[in-house]
Amino acid sequence: MLNLGFLGLGIMGSAMAENLVRAGFQVTVWNRSKEKCDPLLALGAHPAENPRDVASQCDLTFAMLADPKAAREVCFGEDGVLAGISGGRGYIDMSTVDDITVNEINHAITEAGGRFLEAPVSGTKQPAVDGTLIILAAGDRSLYEQSLPAFEVMGKMSPYLGEAGQAARMKLTINMVMGGMMTAFCEGIALGRKCGLDGAQLLEILSSGALANPMFKIKGPMLLAGEFPTSFPLKHMQKDLRLAVALGDRLGQPLHCASTANEIFKEAIKSGCADQDFSAVFSAID
């Protein structure tokens, strides 16, 4: 059985690491706020003082971090992963970051004698709990194959996308679409309510036609109730939209809808919704 490390125990990471522990893997955990490790330690996980110790002790180290800044700090910082990786050990960063960050980390880990795989996930809190995430993998093929037993515990599918950077590009494209859809959905609900339509009836009709999808089914009642329990924090969706727009700028690809959605999500953050579910963008529209 593989000896695994896990760095970053937020909404997603804690559920993913718990599934690995419950599946029987030996798991060593670290989080900047140490109290977040306690539930996993109670299940049998092992603590570590810093990312360097995790990377130096474990066959494979997974990371699930908030943004490019956090991903760089955990890799390159004092007592970071880079200081501990060697001997062909694997580092799998499951954070959603840009392809530039991915390739910086990939180069550094490889130069230090490790192997690198990016593996951002598509899915929010409940799929993380259920072990039904979609894991988008790219980078070292041998590390991908070695990681499959862990991926099968955390997700329902884990396609291999090729060279490092491709998974980040795939994830940003997916989340860009999702953010745009949520913005349009919120505008539709706001317009319907403003002109006197019954909200529940509007949702029922939407769910019966070509626009039916799981996100609208789950988030629709939340919009009508004005309650946004967090599955995917709004600030992280805005970060993904920002990174997608930046990718489009680098490639010369116009992204008019995504750029507009990004500005609306920024307004929602200014109004105090950063840590609410990303569906709380409704508050900047309604």
pLDDT tens per residue, range 18-68: 999 999 999 999 999 999 999 999 999 999 999 999 999 999 999 999 999
Comma-separated ranges of CATH 3.40.50.720 domains in the chain:
3-164
- Contact by Cβ (8 Å): 119, 92: yes
Residue 119 pLDDT exceeds 80: yes
Strands 60-63 and 90-93: parallel
Those residues whose C-beta lies under 8 Å from the C-beta of residue 77, and which sit 6 or more positions away, are: 51
Q: What is the pLDDT of residue 78?
A: 94
The SS3 assignment for 204 reads: helix
**Residue ranges in the chain assigned as alpha helix (H):** 11-22, 38-43, 51-57, 68-76, 81-84, 99-111, 125-130, 141-154, 166-194, 199-206, 214-225, 234-251, 256-270
CB 266 within 8 A of CB 238: yes
Q: pTM for the complete prediction? A: 0.95
Here the tokens at position 176 are 């860009």
In the chain, ranges of CATH 1.10.1040.10 domains: 168-284
Active site residues: 171
Alpha carbon of residue 65 to chain centroid: 8
Question: How many CB atoms are located within 10 Å of the residue 142 CB?
Answer: 12
Residue 1 pLDDT grade (very low, low, confident, very high; cuts 50, 70, 90): confident
For residue 14, give both structure tokens: 């804690």
CATH number of this structure's domain 3-164: 3.40.50.720
| Cα–Cα distance, 86 to 38 (Å, whole number) | 28
Domain spanning 168-284: which CATH class is it, in words? mainly alpha
Q: What is each CA distance from 168 to 93, 165, 175, 242, in whole angstroms?
A: 11, 5, 11, 13
- Over 80: is that where the pLDDT of 182 sits? yes
CA distance 223 to 189: 8
Confidence of residue 2 (pLDDT cuts 50, 70, 90): confident
Instruction: Report the C-alpha gap between 265 and 273 in whole angstroms.
Output: 9
Neighbours of 250 (CB within 10 A): 11
Bridge partner list, 5: 28, 61
